[in-house]
Structure 1
């Protein structure tokens, strides 16, 4: 029996091929899939009807790179630079995490995403100290109800990369209906050296996994050397996301585009950690699909509204004036369909095209911060915040309604997170 949901009377924003306001139209969903978008759609017997009068309806946001496990150490280093981050977070706090801490952080972090309208998440998980840590991270993603790509970054004893990656791949084999799939989160040539990078990319190719790696964030010489290594070894035949990508030249961006690479930008974190000026406009100008990400809540906000606003501000404020063509529509596209393309999910999510998964959000406009907005897309990017997120759907399943998350006892989730945070602070 077909399950039907009809969202009626909302002002609908679609994002493919470019963001556009469709006006007051309806959205019909059948068995979790977008079936039709248009005026005057009928519900049919037994359909669930969501009245979106006075609301904006649009695709859910896509976060292309987040260290989700760090939800339990939020704002622990709000004014730190990158070397300090490596010392405090990776060197000191990460080793204190037990498997239970990873579960608490990943569950709370994924629910934070859903609460803020992020329906798809690349969880760049570099807390794999033991198989138990890994299993806890995956279980939390599954329990949250988010559409997740688990970016597995092996961090155990030397020699275990191959066997552990294969074990996790077996768990996340992409069976029908599983919202959590897998990418290989590689340390890469600039962080772990060329020998490890060869093993990472070749293993990903064998297992049919995309790669996501922090590349181009450690200076121009390191960026050029790492890119040349990937090219000379034919590794970019495997779909690769360049996280941060801060120090590539325009010519190097063209080479990345020609190889089919993508870029993930973390505009708040990149500025706050003083690692470089975000490359949103330069990467997109080269024809590279470019998405947005929160990166980490240890020193940045975790919502997509902040990322869109910051990307828009910094691009238009580039000292050379070259970013003045960057628009609120560009920012929204990066947060939706373009982010989905970065994750290889452009045919599944990121827009309201019929046949895609019904991952969408409904935003309130009956607030002083959103009322009387003449340009709905401009309002989403420049005026909305998490309090506007009223309804969230993932695969047609409502996970937030009336401004409240469903399916989880938030008091229990938050109590576990607080206990974890207290333990980590004492350790």
Structure 2
């Protein structure tokens, strides 16, 4: 049980509907960690936190992150997709011990919390042994955040040859389902991170999706990333009867328009990772095309060994790129657009309620509404970049950054207070992460940490 807390007088972005902003509004957090009331001048017996002048919004939802890579962050910032596959998937990844997986997940999940991401889909695809999976789950639980552990197999499944003839490790997935997630409750739940028809044989793909049905789990799967994505993966899933409203399709950049419509018709959801997609040649982010097809996009940090791990930067990349794409035809024709289609309110919705929907958690989190979990973020009002607050939606999308995340609540628990994560030993966290990084990189002599390292594609196995 949490203590009742009253957030008094904030500018509340509810995300219940696109663009809903409630000025001078209170949010009452009940003892069970849910939102008890939302409105002006609430009268309640509770600890009062004065948030007047500050923006209160739902915690962000990251729908796809390879969190284990946090300890080798930025090694891939100048890499192509080919270099990433060689340097990480057939390179550094094989040196991760269970304790390194724990260190990566713990660091990455806390990084997310620190930046106002209260729900994380952990796309965990470096699980060499059951001990690695146990470590990844333990780290997520130790942070106190809301997370979906998406079990994604290990190097055997993701290495050569492609398409892979190796099934998803069903025995360990069944063990984890029974041991940790049998009742679908708690802050951490489970999904399957499958390779899909782009990267597996038809027989293996069928095995993997049937496993998800057997275990009654949601699926998250890469599709439409770069040249591979032009192979018609959604058509193949449709033909095999595997399209579902319980599947999130990650990237979608190079899918055909007909495939995007198939996703919409099946009730599926989509996750866009604009920073990685543009860097690693996946294609232009599919934000606008998804919307046109009737699919609400969500956002992903994705490869945290390459780009930053906060939602503010991701939102800016996504809105900037999509607005450029929307404006491009008028640049060629000379036509003057009267109004921009994609709004800041839309983008905030993608990062909150729509993300919760893709994670299967929109009944629990993603918006500020009575009965939902109090997964909340309070932004500091002492930044000149946010003063005066003339357009709260625009200010969050274009001006805010992780340094403004003053308070974070997960299920009513205040996990970040006055700008500092609660109960986190920062010195120990840093030393553990550095030690893990040093061990992993030390096992691969050709790796350098000065930004100059590019994997030798000819020598990688």
Q: Provide the TM-score with structure 1 as the length reference.
A: 0.96
> 2:87 maps to which residue?
88
Q: List alignment gaps of at least 5 residues for structure 2.
A: 157-165, 331-336, 444-461
Please tell me whether the aligned partners of residues 359 and 394 of structure 1 are also in contact (alpha carbons under 8 angstroms).
Answer: yes
Is the partner of 1:181 in helix, strand or coil? strand
CA deviation after TM superposition for structure 1 residue 426, in Å: 0.8
Counterpart CA distance in 2 for 1:396 and 1:193 is 45
Equivalents in 2 of 1:2, 1:266: separation in Å? 35
Shift of residue 54 of structure 1? 1.8
Partner of 1:26: 26
- Of 275, 286, 300, the match for 1:279: 286
Does the residue aligned with 1:127 lie in a helix, a strand or coil?
coil
Distance in 2 between the 1:81 and 1:320 partners? 29
1:212 aligned to which of 212, 220, 241 = 220
CA contact (8 A) 1:289 1:342 kept: no
Compared with structure 1, are the counterparts of its residues 204 and 177 closer, same or farther at alpha carbon in structure 2 (3 Å cutoff)?
Answer: closer
Q: Name the structure 2 match of 1:41.
A: 42
What are structure 1's unaligned runs of at least 5 residues? none
Which position in structure 2 is the counterpart of 1:149? 148
Instruction: Specify the alignment match of 2:117 in structure 1.
Output: 118
The alignment yields a C-alpha RMSD, in angstroms, of 1.7
Question: Residue 367 of structure 1: which of 383, 391, 396 is its match?
Answer: 383
Write the distance in 2 (CA, Å) between the matches of 1:349 and 1:35. 14
1:128 aligns to what SS in structure 2? coil
Distance in 2 of aligned mates of 1:188 and 1:402: 43
Q: Does residue 68 of structure 1 match 2:67?
A: yes
Deviates more, 1:204-213 or 1:14-23: 14-23
Shift of 1:281: 1.3
Indicate whether 1:100 and 2:116 are aligned: no
SS at match of 1:296: coil
Report what 2:277 is aligned to: 270
- DSSP-derived class of the 1:53 partner: coil
Residue matched to 2:437: 421
- Following superposition, the deviation at residue 42 of structure 1 comes to 1.6
What displacement does 1:176 show? 7.2
Of stretches 284-293 and 310-319 in structure 1, the one that deviates more from structure 2 is 284-293
Task: State the alpha-carbon separation in 2 of the partners of residues 249 and 156 from structure 1.
Answer: 30
What SS does structure 2 have at the residue aligned with 1:121?
A: strand
Q: 1:80 to 1:271 in 2, by over 3 A?
A: same
- Tell me the CA shift for residue 347 of structure 1: 1.1
Q: Secondary structure of the equivalent of 2:38?
A: strand
Please, what TM-score do these two structures have when normalized by structure 2? Answer: 0.89
2:327 equivalent to 1:311? no
Q: Which residue of 2 aligns with 1:320?
A: 329
SS in 2 for 1:142: helix
User: Higher mean Cα deviation, 169-178 or 29-38?
Assistant: 169-178
CA displacement 1:51-74 (0-9 Å, x = unmatched): 112211010000000000001001
